């Protein structure tokens, strides 16, 4: 690097002209006129909630993933809560999951009085390690809750084999993975239940929302009851029948319903899901090719027998090749108006979990990974210029801080 260029780089990194004039977020929804018309049509209809749009959206999701049933919820966390309820998790039960996820993946177990047990991750995919899962099983284990981290499916064959051997339920947290495939099958039917998120940064959005897919009749009925106060009007499930007005609360459920307004948006979004996934994959490929020869970072590893939904693009910094830590790199990229993020803080690092008795050192690979990762912007609405800006900024910042 010449002296003049080095001075210029310092200025840019410390208050000079950033690569971008406006902040590029790490994720963002893609809404078009068809989405807006779908929502307006519902606003002009007789049903804003508990109407036909929800049924249509559920059928669309179920058909897409190849499941018998889909049950929509108010948000992804509610959907996880419903799945854990349907699985019969209660006080004293243990559910094995990964620490490298958003807190909701473990919180849903706590909601039902169960105990989350954290298994360490694989060093390459960052997904839950089946060998670590085996080591966590006790007589109290009732379910395994793998998370398809960043959209790449976990090793489901191994996980399902473990579950079958020990008589465990499998609840897939596929919040990142709608549209992903595992050995030729779309994620949504491998486990007993699969949970998707419909948050604005996810593959498709309903604003807030979640869906659980399943092929099991009993689980389907429990999911439907749970999201509507535990109440049913279905004559085949009533314990009494006092007239056409009659309904029964059979479980302590919640008001976790998705509205027709949201469902209409979701159905319209599903028309574009495959296009969204292709664009995410294109951006990921551009990043991987651009960063392939950079010793300061490692690009995401992808297994050949599955396709990622590419919800996130996570790089792992090689701190031995840099003069600074992850925080300085993060702040320098923000100064360039690149909206980087970190996914995730290991769940048991949070104060609430520490007060419950979880301690650092529980999952060494996850903890080491956390210290080195950054999430780069990745969403379908990014232009090629946006992608180039991210690449330029990463090369600029890491080049400046290179040892």
Query: What stretch of H or E contains 342?
Result: none
Closest by alpha carbon to 310, among 344, 284, 291?
A: 284
Residue 257 is classified by DSSP as: P
DSSP lists the bridge partners of residue 95 as 116, 143
Question: With contact defined as beta carbons under 8 Å apart, do 198 and 29 qualify?
Answer: no
Would residue 202 show up in a list of annotated catalytic residues for this protein? Answer: yes
Instruction: Mention every residue, 6+ apart, whose C-beta is less than 8 A from residue 102.
Output: 175, 343, 344
Within a 10 A sphere around the Cβ of 263, how many other Cβ atoms? Answer: 30
Question: With contact defined as beta carbons under 8 Å apart, do 42 and 264 qualify?
Answer: yes
Within a 10 A sphere around the Cβ of 105, how many other Cβ atoms? Answer: 26
Choose, from 202, 285, 286, 396, the residue flagged as catalytic: 202
DSSP lists the bridge partners of residue 185 as 182
Question: With contact defined as beta carbons under 8 Å apart, do 325 and 319 qualify?
Answer: yes
* DSSP string computed for 56-67: HHHHHHHHHHT-
Closest by alpha carbon to 18, among 396, 317, 373?
A: 396
Indicate which residues carry an active-site annotation.
Answer: 202
């Amino acid at each position: 690097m010449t002296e003049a260029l080095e001075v210029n780089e310092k200025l840019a990194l410390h208050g000079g002209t950033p690569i971008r004039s406006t902040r590029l977020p790490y994720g963002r929804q893609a809404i078009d006129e068809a989405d807006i018309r779908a929502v307006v049509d519902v606003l002009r209809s007789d049903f804003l909630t508990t109407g036909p749009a929800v049924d249509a959206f559920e059928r669309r999701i179920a058909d897409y993933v190849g499941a018998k049933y889909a049950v929509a919820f108010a948000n992804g966390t509610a959907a996880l809560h419903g799945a854990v309820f349907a699985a019969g998790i209660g006080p004293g039960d243990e559910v094995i999951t990964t620490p490298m996820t958003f807190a909701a993946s473990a919180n849903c177990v706590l909601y039902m009085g169960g105990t989350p047990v954290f298994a360490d991750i694989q060093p390459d995919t960052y997904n839950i390690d089946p060998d670590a899962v085996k080591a966590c099983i006790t007589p109290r284990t009732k379910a395994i809750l793998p998370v398809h981290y960043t959209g790449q499916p976990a090793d489901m064959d191994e996980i399902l084999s473990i579950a079958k051997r020990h008589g465990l339920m499998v609840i897939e947290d596929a919040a990142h993975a709608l549209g992903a495939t595992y050995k030729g099958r779309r994620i949504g039917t491998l486990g007993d239940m699969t949970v998707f998120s419909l948050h604005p940064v996810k593959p498709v959005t309903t604003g807030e929302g979640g869906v659980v897919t399943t092929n099991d009749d009993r689980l389907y009925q429990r999911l439907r009851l749970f999201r509507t106060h535990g109440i049913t009007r279905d004559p085949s499930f009533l314990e009494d029948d006092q007239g056409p007005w009659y309904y029964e609360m059979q479980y302590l459920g919640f008001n976790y319903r998705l509205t027709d307004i949201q469902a209409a948006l979701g159905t319209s979004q599903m028309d574009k899901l495959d296009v969204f996934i292709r664009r995410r994959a294109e951006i990921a490929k551009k990043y991987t090719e651009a960063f392939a020869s950079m010793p300061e970072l490692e690009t995401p590893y992808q297994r050949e027998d599955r396709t990622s939904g590419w919800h996130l693009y996570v790089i792992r910094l090689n701190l031995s090749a840099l003069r600074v830590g992850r925080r300085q790199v993060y702040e320098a990229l923000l100064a360039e108006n690149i909206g980087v993020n970190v996914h995730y803080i290991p769940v048991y690092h949070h104060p609430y979990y520490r007060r419950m008795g979880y301690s650092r050192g529980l999952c060494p690979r996850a903890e080491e990974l956390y210290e080195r990762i950054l999430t780069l912007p990745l969403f379908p609405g990014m232009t090629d210029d946006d992608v180039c800006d991210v690449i330029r900024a990463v090369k600029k910042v890491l080049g400046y801080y290179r040892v």
